[in-house]
Amino acid sequence: MNGSFTSPADGDPCACDTLILGIGNVLWADEGFGVRAVEALNARYIFPADVRVLDGGTQGMFLLPWIRSARRLLIFDAVDFGRSPASLELIRDDDVPRYMGVKKMSMHQTGFQEVLSMATLAGDLPASIALIGVQPVLLDDYGGSLTPSVRACIRPALRIALDVLGEWGIPAHARADAVTQPQLVGPAALDMEDYEQGRPTSVADAGGSR
């Protein structure tokens, strides 16, 4: 994913008060939960100008400037909590790096744990962090979309996110109209519906790796 922005914040491209971040790899089934959740949030709600909604994909260390610039950080991701499949968990503050570092499911989690460690060493870790994670059902399915039970977790995950943002004093206003495809967080070809219709048949076909 390319890390497209959806908020109108000006000036420093990395500067924001609150960063809402979806991470994961949409090419590997439920690992794409974080990206799909942030897409859904952006499609339904408008936030203040100092809030950025970001598809972080699998960018790892390239996310460091945004993490260091944010005062608050809300993350969506698929995480192996050791819970029942398709269950949601809300993790806060100092516990977030610990959960991102255990039972790593892919390279993006290793990379993001390093991002949090680097921000901590620099003294720039956001003051408030919340992780909304789903226990994946299926990961080893290249080209697969979210499993039905994990897809069904997106709406409750958004409700949790709105509660967290409300605690932080951040309003979310429902959009009058749905976001059109060109305004989606990621490239149009990776819109969930288009992606499912054009599923690659092998790693070689898409030139991708996990």
Cα–Cα distance for residue pair 19/160, rounded to 1 Å: 16
Task: Classify 18-206 by CATH class.
Answer: alpha beta
Cα–Cα distance for residue pair 6/34, rounded to 1 Å: 15
Res 71: pLDDT: 93
Res 104: pLDDT: 54
Domain boundaries of the chain, sorted by first residue: 18-206
Q: What is the tens place of the pLDDT at every residue in 145-167?
A: 899 999 999 999 999 999 999 99
Cα–Cα distance for residue pair 96/128, rounded to 1 Å: 10
Q: What is the tens place of the pLDDT at every residue in 107-126?
A: 545 578 888 888 888 888 99
**Mean pLDDT (the chain, rounded):** 79
Q: Give the residue from 103, 58, 94, 56 showing the smallest Cα distance to 75.
A: 56
* Greater model confidence, 72 or 60: 72
- Give exposure, 113-144, as e/b (b: 16+ Cβ within 10 Å): bbbbeebeeeeebbeebbbbbbbbbebeebbb
Q: Which residues pair with 96 in a beta bridge?
A: none
Cα–Cα distance for residue pair 45/59, rounded to 1 Å: 25
Q: In this structure, is the dihedral angle defined by the CA atoms of residues 100, 104, 108 and 113, taken in order, positive or negative?
A: positive
